[in-house]
Amino acid sequence: MEESMSKPFKAESRRLLDLMIHSIYTHKEIFLRELISNASDALDKLYFMSLNDEVKEVDRTGLSIRIHVDKEARTLSIVDNGVGMTSEEMEDNLGTIAKSGSFDFKQMMDQAQKKDEVDIIGQFGVGFYSA
């Protein structure tokens, strides 16, 4: 009788992520939609937090997403004034493939039966990596 053995599973995470992103996002310009969706979710989260007195009252007309194009530097910047991320949230959400802070927020709202108050877009945790 042979003894069973276990070996660690190995993966080249950069290539795996590249493969996953390219299979999900077939058009190279999709990254822009994904980053704008992330900005929109940040605005919705901030507004929701203001409704629950977690932050001071937010004037919805002041919420914005701006796109800056710098042809000389060859950069495109998407800037919003929504809720930001702490360094811990950045490590948790950006440092873990397929971990979505928006999905977690959406689940929390569902449990609190407040899912109709805002419309969160993100759910898969890969939009950021499409850029």
Query: Bridge-partner residues for 66, per DSSP?
Result: 79
Q: How confident is the model at residue 7 (pLDDT cuts 50, 70, 90)?
A: confident
pLDDT mean across residues, the chain: 76
For 27-80, the pLDDT digits (tens) are 777 788 888 888 988 898 888 888 777 778 788 889 999 999 999 999 999 999
Contacts of 121 (CB under 8 A, 6+ apart): 37, 40, 41, 102
Structural domains for the chain: 29-130 (3.30.565.10)
Cα dihedral sign for 47, 111, 93, 32?
Answer: negative
